[in-house]
Amino acid sequence: MAAPLGTLVFYSDFDDFGTWKDALQAQLPQLQVLPACAVERPEDVHYAMAWKPPAGFFQQMPNLRLIVNLGAGVDALVGRADLPAGVPITRITDPQMARMMAGYVLFAVLRHARDIPHFEQAQRRGEWAYRHPRSPQETSVAVLGLGQLGATAAHEVQRQGFRTLGWSRSPRQIDGVACFSGAETLDGVLGQADIVVLMLPLTPETHGLFDRARLQRLKPGAAFVNVARGALVDQGALTALLADGHIGSATLDVFAREPLPADDPLWAMPQVLVTPHLASVAIPSSSARQIAANILRVAAGEPPDNRIDPARGY
């Protein structure tokens, strides 16, 4: 029988503990998996798997060896005061999660490219409002952020025949995607795109990157899709530019404040689709194997895969 691995503590207000416990223990039966509220001996906890745990959460566990972020974006973890020094932080890097995100992005891109917001509004007025469709090649889509999820989404978008541009920090190559990198190329990319899709991590460099001046660089009437983080964008400026028509329509999954407050003007804008931060999620059945492999690596004194760089912020 394999030696016990110790305890993994689980914290998430969004993910189901039982499903994750079953998925992890199918890989590692010798691992004890407990919800945070059931931990009696914090000194036995070697592994934490968490999504937005409360402040002070990590301080209670003096023998942590690995922190698994229960998602892709680590902005809610990086920079916390309670992170134990030297303990590696990993993220979920799962093709199924990327596929789920690419599906959402494709839905949003097709929705804007096929003028669906226009037809939805016309239907409510009982109006037969014909608009001649454009071919995908006539529509340019810029995917900003070409990471684990962003690159998959850009690939799917180009597969549909859209003229696809990508933007990242360092140079990337994706077949069929015109890739640009570096801050100095961003405005040029924005100025070419009919649909802009935000897929950047929230870091000190990207926080507020889409302020009023930058949003004004979008082509008049362009569509804006944000599946990354609300704090990348000046939401007041975005709302004003949607109201005056400079930005034609938007699909927004993430917001400056979540849940989006009930009195926020975005709710009532007919050209805006609001979804409650669910473009993609960590999937137990497909992610448990990589988490288990990392636990075994750390238990053997080896560095884990999918480690994030706290200094870089992603």
Q: Which residues are identified as catalytic?
A: 229, 277
Is the alpha carbon torsion for 259, 235, 209, 159 positive or negative? positive
Name the residue nearer to ligand GLV (CB basis): 72 or 198: 72
Min dist. Cβ of residue 253 to ligand NAP (A): 5
Which residues contact ligand NAP by CB under 6 A? Answer: 71-73, 101, 145-150, 168-170, 172, 199-203, 205-206, 227-229, 253-254, 277-280, 314
Cis peptide leading into 136, omega within 30 of 0?
A: no
* 150, 199 Cβ separation under 8 angstroms: yes
81 exposed, middle or buried (CB, 10 Å; 0-12, 13-18, 19+)? exposed
The alpha carbon of residue 5 and the mean position of all alpha carbons in its chain are separated, in whole angstroms, by: 31
Min dist. Cβ of residue 137 to ligand NAP (A): 25
Rule CB under 6 A: say whether 48 interacts with ligand GLV. no
Name the residue nearer to ligand GLV (CB basis): 71 or 304: 71
Residue closest to ligand GLV when measured from CB atoms = 71
Name the residue nearer to ligand NAP (CB basis): 28 or 72: 72
Query: What is the distance between the alpha carbons of residues 89 and 79, in angstroms, rounded to a whole number?
Result: 12
Eight-class DSSP state of 205:
T
Min dist. Cβ of residue 226 to ligand GLV (A): 12
Query: Which listed residue (31, 61, 72, 165) binds ligand GLV by CB under 6 A?
Result: 72
**Binding partner at 193 among ligand GLV, ligand NAP, none, C-beta below 5 to 8 Å by kind:** none
Name the residue nearer to ligand GLV (CB basis): 72 or 109: 72
Q: Which helix (H) or strand (E) holds 95?
A: helix 95-113
Query: What is the distance between the alpha carbons of residues 285 and 67, in angstroms, rounded to a whole number?
Result: 19
